[in-house]
Structure 1
Amino acid sequence: MNTLSAFRAFRALLPVLRPEWRGMAWIYLLGTMSALGLAGLTVLTAWAVGHAVVERTPPGPLWWALVLGLVLLRVLLTWREMDVSHALAYRVLARLRMALFDAYARSVPGRRREHSGRAAAVAMDDIEKLEFFYAHTVAQLGASLTLFTASLVTASLLLPEAALVMLLGAAVVASSALYWARAARRLGEREQQERSDLSEHIVDALGALREVLAYGLAPRIIAETSAATARAATVAQRRELLSHLVTALRELVLTAVVIGVIATSATAAGVLSADVPVRLAPAELPALVALALVGIAAIVDATDTLTRLHPLVSGAERVAAGINRPPVVAVPRAPRPLPAGPLGLRFRDVSFSYEGRRPTLTSWSAGLAPGEHVGLVGPSGSGKSTVIALAARLWDPSAGTVELVTADGGGVPVADLDEAALREAVALVDQDATLFHGTVRDNLLRGCGPRSDGDLNALLERVEAAAWIGLDDELGEGGVRLSGGQRARLCLARALARRPRVLLVDEVTASLDPATERLVSDVIAQFHGTVLIASHRAETLARLERVVDVAAAPHAVRRPGG
């Protein structure tokens, strides 16, 4: 990875942050004015010292007015810069995370076999570091370069030889960043990789907590986590050591530049030799040295910052890859409105395959009339869950179309429909449906319009949950306080709260006891709309009007019990 590729990695995220460009420019201006104000104070102080020592003249009222004005301006600018930059940092953080979440919503990770631990590392660790870069570091780099340019131009007007020394010193300092860039980038990438691996390991352990306890794996996992943490810390220490070595080199260059400016300035002032024409008053010499010191220090700060950015490059690439990932469902250019009245489903020669695997469905066709209740059967891996996901438009088929069918037989492809309208009409209850942290009311209202507490309590009565839970009860993360049957009932109630016209159910009764399965099947049977349910349970299938075998030839249908 070279400097150009690093620049491209950071630039790739700028379109997402376009609304914040004005804020970035504003922080750059504030930072630049603050840096110039501090430089002005430094030069003015050195100028006053030079005149006081050489000419024994104290600074006049104008000098005091300028210094006092710069001090007040500096205080105001520093306060304003901190206020604006902190607000911008939160907005950058929110925009990057929203863009990443939106990309995942359009491109379901499950189809691409991605690890949730790595996704969490990108969403939390990488973006948090990039937030500081875009909200603070970019403006800081711009201010440093502007300050150096202003110092160099001023020095060239006062004494070209001093400006040449500054330019040579800046070149050496900048070249040190390029010289050490490859090693720093390599260490930064390795550190980020170690941290991503650590996140993946922790997520795996937390996701299998019961197995960890049942098999006594806790000591092993703790040891592996400690080892992974130690590896990441070792890489970070090596990167810091390299950074300190480069910093020491730059400080050495800074010292050499100061000595060079002093020598050229003293020569021009006739201090070192009386035979040289005097082109600079001796009293001005401290001010010129201070000016050179301010300018070269700005370059040192900028290059030091650039050296420390290398761990962010791979993070920026991962975030950009996540945000720019291709969607699994295409956004229609001219969305069509949802048809009124009852809706059915139709699959026309649908094919689908997961990445890196052979096709799950090939030219598969089936139809559900509006209001019909149909089951899907077939062995594991035959495509039952895939059919449900395609009907819910979590994915688009690689070939063929999925349509919503009106009472007169007309079909509208789900890919052409307005997204919000489609979600209102079609509800999904998945086998692994998740309850969110919060109250029962919060969960029932997820994804639907306003509902009264009376309506919500009626839903709880409908799924026979009112006896053991209330609307204000907290569920905990993922509904941890509930049994599998209780979670299934609440997930079904949440889908019904949306008042859908098509209800999609994927193996929701697979792990339920007979009594709970009977209850859930009764609720689904009483739903006044179209139902497509994937199941292998006889009790569930017996309530349906017909059953489609996904693994059989297209249009193969059998009656329940047949």
Structure 2
Amino acid sequence: MNVFSALRAFRELLPVLRPEWRGMLWSYLIGTASALSLAGLTVLTAWAVGHAVVERTPPGPLWWVLVIGLVLVRAVLTWREMDVSHALAYRVLARLRMALFDAYARSVPGRRREHSGYAATVAMDDIEKLEFFYAHTVAQLGASLTLFLASLVSASVLLPEAGLVVLVGGLVVASSALYRARAARRLGEQEQRERSALSTRIVDALGALREVLAYGLAPRIIAETDAATARAAAIARRHELLSQLVTAIRELVITAVVIGIIAVSSSAAGVLAEGAQARLSPAELPALVALALAGVAAISDATATLTRLHPLVAGAERVATGIGRAPVVSVPERPRPLPTGPLGLRFRDVSFAYEGRRPTLTSWSVELAPGEHVGLVGPSGSGKSTVIALAARLWDPLAGTIELVTPDGTGIPVAELDDAALRDAVALVDQEAVLFHGTVRDNLLRGCAPRSDADLTAVLERVGAAAWIGLDDELGEGGVRLSGGQRARLCLARALVRRPRILLVDEVTASLDPATEQAICDVIAGFPGTVLVASHRAQTLARLDRLVDVTDITGVTGVVPAGRTGGA
């Protein structure tokens, strides 16, 4: 990977950051002005020293005005640069995170059986480093290049030979980015892989903390983590040594540039040969050396920054790949409105397969009338959860259509509906539904229109939760303080608060005790809209209008459970 391919990786993320382009330009302009102010102060100081030593003349009033003015300007610009770049950094961080989250929300990693730990690594590690690059490093690189060009032009105007030395020195310094670049890139990629694998291992361990403690895996995980950390540290040391070597070479080049400037300036000033015609006052030599040094040092800093970007390139490519993921749910160009009133569900010749696996559904059809309560049955892995996910439009089928059906039989494909309207009409209660950190009220109102506390309390009473929890109670991370049955009740309550017209339930009673299962079934049975339940529990299925076997591709072999004769 060369410099151009690295820059290409960073350029791929620029469309996501389009709203921040103005801020990035503003940061560059302020940074450039600050760098030029500092260079101006350095050159003026060297000029004053040269005249004081050679001509025994102190600096005049104009010099003091310029120096004091530049000091004040530099102070203001430094403060302003920090203010602008920090604000920009937070906005860049937010935009990249939102773009990545949106991409994963549209593509649903679960369908691809991806590793959530890897996704967390991308979100929390790579993006934080990229935030610094776009908010700070880009402006610094632009300011350094501008300062070098200003130094080159100024030196060339004052003394063409000095301009030539600055140009050659700058090119040699810039070419140092190619020295051992392949080795540095390889070490950077190795370090990034080790750190990503380490993050994934830690995420796995934290996500399975009970199993780790139950099986006594903590010592082994700690040992593996220590070993991985040691490997990453060893690679980082080798990378740093190589970086220090290249830095030493740059410093030698800068020293050679200073010597070259002194030589050509001394020659032009007639210092090296008596009687030679002087084209430059000896008093100007320090100022010219300072000017050349500022330019070459700027290009040296820029080159050093570029050589440290190798580990970041892989991160930029991962984030760009994540943001560019193909959605599994298409977005309609002209969304259709959702009609009012009861809604049913219709599956027409639906086929679906997870990536790299045989089809789960093939030309599967079934219809639920508005208000009907239907259960999905079949062996594990037969596609019950897939049907629920398709009905909730977490994924789009590979073939066929899924429709919402009005009482007169009119079907509206869910792929043509406005997504917000669809989410208001269809609620999902999943076996692995997550409760968010925060209060009960916060969780009930997630993605929901405002509801009064009285409405929320009524829903808690409806699911039998009001007796043991209140709206202001904190749930902890993932509802860790709750039992499985309590979590199931709150997840069901969260769905009911939305006042949906279709309720989708996936194995929510799978691990519940009989009493809790009965309570959940009572709530589902009393739901006034359409219900589609995936379950293998007889008690859960017994309260439904009919059952549909997902292994029957026609979807018409419904049976009425014993003891169930009416609708919902």
User: Where does 1:140-539 land on structure 2 (aligned, <5 Å)?
Assistant: 140-539=140-539
Q: Aligned partners of 1:478, 1:362: CA distance in 2, in Å?
A: 36
Q: Aligned partners of 1:208, 1:418: CA distance in 2, in Å?
A: 38
Partner of 1:2: 2
| Residue 396 of structure 1, CA deviation | 0.1
Partner of 1:16: 16
1:351 counterpart SS class:
strand
Q: Aligned partners of 1:220, 1:561: CA distance in 2, in Å?
A: 52
Q: Aligned partners of 2:103, 2:211: CA distance in 1, in Å?
A: 32
2:180 counterpart SS class:
helix
Partner of 1:131: 131
Partner of 2:107: 107
| Residue 277 of structure 1, CA deviation | 2.3
Residues 33-77 of structure 1: per-residue CA shift (max 9 Å, x gap) = 111111111111111111111111110000000000000000000
Q: Aligned partners of 1:375, 1:413: CA distance in 2, in Å?
A: 22
Q: Kindly provide the amino acid, as one letter, of the partner of residue 103 in structure 2.
A: A
Q: Kindly provide the amino acid, as one letter, of the partner of residue 146 in structure 2.
A: T
Contact 2:363/2:553, CA 8 A, preserved across alignment: no
| Residue 559 of structure 1, CA deviation | 2.2
Contact 1:191/1:311, CA 8 A, preserved across alignment: yes
Q: Aligned partners of 2:12, 2:384: CA distance in 1, in Å?
A: 39
| Residue 302 of structure 1, CA deviation | 0.5
Q: Aligned partners of 2:347, 2:42: CA distance in 1, in Å?
A: 76
Partner of 1:45: 45
Q: Aligned partners of 1:4, 1:141: CA distance in 2, in Å?
A: 15
Q: Kindly provide the amino acid, as one letter, of the partner of residue 334 in structure 2.
A: A
| Residue 237 of structure 1, CA deviation | 1.4
Q: Aligned partners of 2:562, 2:304: CA distance in 1, in Å?
A: 74
Q: Aligned partners of 1:84, 1:114: CA distance in 2, in Å?
A: 38
Partner of 1:557: 558
| Residue 488 of structure 1, CA deviation | 0.2
1:250 counterpart SS class:
helix
Q: Kindly provide the amino acid, as one letter, of the partner of residue 117 in structure 1.
A: G
Contact 1:16/1:99, CA 8 A, preserved across alignment: yes
Partner of 1:32: 32
| Residue 236 of structure 1, CA deviation | 1.4
| Residue 179 of structure 1, CA deviation | 2.4
| Residue 188 of structure 1, CA deviation | 1.4
Residues 239-291 of structure 1: per-residue CA shift (max 9 Å, x gap) = 11111111111001000000010000000100011253211111111111111
| Residue 496 of structure 1, CA deviation | 0.2
2:340 counterpart SS class:
coil
User: Where does 1:61-76 land on structure 2 (aligned, <5 Å)?
Assistant: 61-76=61-76
| Residue 433 of structure 1, CA deviation | 0.3
Residues 166-188 of structure 1: per-residue CA shift (max 9 Å, x gap) = 11111111111022322222111
Contact 2:440/2:472, CA 8 A, preserved across alignment: yes
TM-score (norm 2): 0.98
Q: Kindly provide the amino acid, as one letter, of the partner of residue 530 in structure 2.
A: T
Contact 1:429/1:495, CA 8 A, preserved across alignment: yes
Contact 2:362/2:553, CA 8 A, preserved across alignment: no
Residues 471-499 of structure 1: per-residue CA shift (max 9 Å, x gap) = 11100000000000000000000000000
1:400 counterpart SS class:
strand
Q: Kindly provide the amino acid, as one letter, of the partner of residue 125 in structure 1.
A: D
Q: Aligned partners of 2:440, 2:36: CA distance in 1, in Å?
A: 57
Q: Aligned partners of 2:552, 2:370: CA distance in 1, in Å?
A: 23
| Residue 425 of structure 1, CA deviation | 0.2
Contact 2:346/2:403, CA 8 A, preserved across alignment: yes
Residues 139-185 of structure 1: per-residue CA shift (max 9 Å, x gap) = 00000000000000011111111111111111111111022322222
Q: Aligned partners of 2:419, 2:544: CA distance in 1, in Å?
A: 29
| Residue 553 of structure 1, CA deviation | 3.4
2:547 counterpart SS class:
strand
Q: Kindly provide the amino acid, as one letter, of the partner of residue 232 in structure 1.
A: A
Q: Kindly provide the amino acid, as one letter, of the partner of residue 374 in structure 1.
A: V
| Residue 2 of structure 1, CA deviation | 2.2
Q: Aligned partners of 1:250, 1:330: CA distance in 2, in Å?
A: 52
Q: CA RMSD in A?
A: 0.9
Residues 486-531 of structure 1: per-residue CA shift (max 9 Å, x gap) = 0000000000000000000000011111110010000000000000
Residues 321-345 of structure 1: per-residue CA shift (max 9 Å, x gap) = 1111000100000000001110000
Q: Kindly provide the amino acid, as one letter, of the partner of residue 401 in structure 2.
A: T
Q: Aligned partners of 1:406, 1:554: CA distance in 2, in Å?
A: 21
Q: Kindly provide the amino acid, as one letter, of the partner of residue 42 in structure 2.
A: T
Contact 1:117/1:196, CA 8 A, preserved across alignment: no
Matched, 1:548 2:543: no
Alignment gaps of 5+ in structure 1 = none
Partner of 2:566: none
| Residue 4 of structure 1, CA deviation | 1.9
Q: Aligned partners of 1:182, 1:134: CA distance in 2, in Å?
A: 24
Contact 1:350/1:401, CA 8 A, preserved across alignment: yes
Q: Kindly provide the amino acid, as one letter, of the partner of residue 196 in structure 1.
A: S
1:408 counterpart SS class:
coil
Contact 2:179/2:246, CA 8 A, preserved across alignment: no
Residues 191-214 of structure 1: per-residue CA shift (max 9 Å, x gap) = 111111011111111121111111
Q: Aligned partners of 2:350, 2:178: CA distance in 1, in Å?
A: 54
1:16 counterpart SS class:
helix
Q: Aligned partners of 1:226, 1:333: CA distance in 2, in Å?
A: 52
| Residue 561 of structure 1, CA deviation | 4.4
2:278 counterpart SS class:
coil
Q: Kindly provide the amino acid, as one letter, of the partner of residue 557 in structure 1.
A: G
Q: Aligned partners of 1:355, 1:195: CA distance in 2, in Å?
A: 28
Q: Aligned partners of 1:171, 1:450: CA distance in 2, in Å?
A: 63
Matched, 1:56 2:53: no
Q: Aligned partners of 1:317, 1:275: CA distance in 2, in Å?
A: 63
Q: Aligned partners of 1:75, 1:277: CA distance in 2, in Å?
A: 42
Q: Kindly provide the amino acid, as one letter, of the partner of residue 393 in structure 2.
A: R
Q: Aligned partners of 1:356, 1:276: CA distance in 2, in Å?
A: 82
2:179 counterpart SS class:
helix
Contact 2:505/2:532, CA 8 A, preserved across alignment: yes
| Residue 545 of structure 1, CA deviation | 0.3
1:362 counterpart SS class:
strand
Q: Aligned partners of 1:144, 1:447: CA distance in 2, in Å?
A: 47
TM-score (norm 1): 0.99
Contact 1:465/1:490, CA 8 A, preserved across alignment: yes
